[in-house]
């Protein structure tokens, strides 16, 4: 059945097929990475915020005073299968899931899985027990949804993308729009999910609103935050208006979202590493290791150059065309004088 689905599945333009030998190599590296972090990872965020959401829902109102989470509470049924496992089994299984989701994202969107698995972004995700794998998986589900024309898959894509909105929620919104008439069924399902979550967990959007107003102004907006902030919002215009094909527009929206998100820890840029971007850009997957050696957080800020470089790469044909037109116009004016 899986062979039939893959044979008839329409991959994005940037998809790069893997040989059997390369697939085995990827599996070997991923297993080694998994074993390493299964031994050394403390999973601080996993055992803190994400476990508390499952085991201590009474703490949710405290978000208004102390922002210990900003993830939507419907994340609970997705995390419960991991959290309810005994001992460290939950964290270990969760890390395996994050690795698998990342590899699947690289396979579908043409990224380089070995470099992505060895990147500083992946290190942070596995060391702290972060959720970026869910964001990658949401984008994969969104692509499957538009190919299969499935509003239900798109609903799950939207719900999961909201776990980490700075990672891929805007690109998933684009996929939601591209699905066609089924988008409204997905929208209604999301509204019903929101209403149900308020009935179950209380007025959490209000608590989150109070918490988020202080969150972006405290230490979370520190030297390791790679975001350019709201000054980058105008970049959404070329991402939406330039004549890009669907796959390139998806990458452009992903990069733009990362730049203007008010909260962007460097490891959230891992989603871009899952795309078939130029090889040299993977250098930004490794500069995140430098603070451990040079005792400066500047390299974390420099990770903003990754989405910026991706946009320049995508827009370069338009930039050169515009430069040529400006030069031609200027030369004509000189001749007329």
* Domain boundary assignment for the chain: 10-336
**pLDDT score of 221:** 54
Query: For every residue of 29-63, which 3-state class applies, written as one string?
Result: HHHHHHHHHHHHCCCHHHHHHHHHHHHCHHHHHHH
* Mean pLDDT confidence for 114-125: 96
- CA–chain centroid gap for 107, Å, is 15
Q: Give the CA count within 13 Å in the CB-facing half-sphere of 274.
A: 35
Locate 132 and state its tokens.
Answer: 């970026």
**pLDDT score of 1:** 39
CA–CA separation, 271 vs 170, rounded Å? Answer: 13
Please state, for a pLDDT cut of 70, what percent of the chain lies above it: 92
The 10s digit of each residue's pLDDT in 16-63 is: 999 999 999 999 999 999 999 999 999 999 998 899 999 999 999 998
pLDDT over threshold 60, residue 7: no
pLDDT over threshold 90, residue 64: no
CA–CA separation, 285 vs 252, rounded Å? Answer: 18
Locate 321 and state its tokens.
Answer: 């065309």
The 10s digit of each residue's pLDDT in 219-243 is: 555 666 778 878 889 999 999 999 9
146 three-state secondary structure: helix
Q: What is the pTM of this model?
A: 0.92
Q: Give the CA count within 13 Å in the CB-facing half-sphere of 176.
A: 23
* Mean pLDDT confidence for 78-91: 96
pLDDT band for position 8 (cuts 50, 70, 90): low
Other C-beta atoms within 10 Å of 50: how many? 26
């Amino acid at each position: 059945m899986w062979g039939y689905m893959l044979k008839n599945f329409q991959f994005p333009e940037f998809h790069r097929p893997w040989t059997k030998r390369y697939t085995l190599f990827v599996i070997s590296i991923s297993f080694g990475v998994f074993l390493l972090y299964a031994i050394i990872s403390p999973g601080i965020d996993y055992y803190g915020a994400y476990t508390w959401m499952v085991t201590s829902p009474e703490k949710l109102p405290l978000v208004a005073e102390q922002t210990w989470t900003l993830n939507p509470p419907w994340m609970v049924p997705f995390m419960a299968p991991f959290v309810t496992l005994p001992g460290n089994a939950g964290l270990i299984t969760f890390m395996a899931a994050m690795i698998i989701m990342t590899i699947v994202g690289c396979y579908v969107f043409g990224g380089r899985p070995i470099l992505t698995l060895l990147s500083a972004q992946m290190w942070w995700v596995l060391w702290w027990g972060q959720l970026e794998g869910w964001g990658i998986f949401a984008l994969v589900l969104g692509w499957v949804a538009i190919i299969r024309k499935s509003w239900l898959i798109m609903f799950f894509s939207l719900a999961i993308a909201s776990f980490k909105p700075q990672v891929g929620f805007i690109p998933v919104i684009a996929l939601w729009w591209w699905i066609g008439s089924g988008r409204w069924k997905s929208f209604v399902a999301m509204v019903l999910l929101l209403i149900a979550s308020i009935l179950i967990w209380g007025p959490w959007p209000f608590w989150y609103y109070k918490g988020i107003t202080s969150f972006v102004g405290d230490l979370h907006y520190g030297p390791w935050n790679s975001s350019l902030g709201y000054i980058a919002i105008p970049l959404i215009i070329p991402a939406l208006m330039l004549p890009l094909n669907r796959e390139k527009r998806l990458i452009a929206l992903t990069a733009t979202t990362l730049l203007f998100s008010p909260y962007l820890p460097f490891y959230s840029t891992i989603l871009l590493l899952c795309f078939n971007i130029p090889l040299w850009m993977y250098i930004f997957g490794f500069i995140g290791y430098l603070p451990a050696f040079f005792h400066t957080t500047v390299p974390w800020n420099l990770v903003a150059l990754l989405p910026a470089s991706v946009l320049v790469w995508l827009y370069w044909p338009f930039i050169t065309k515009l430069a040529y037109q400006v030069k031609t116009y200027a030369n004509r004016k000189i001749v007329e004088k």
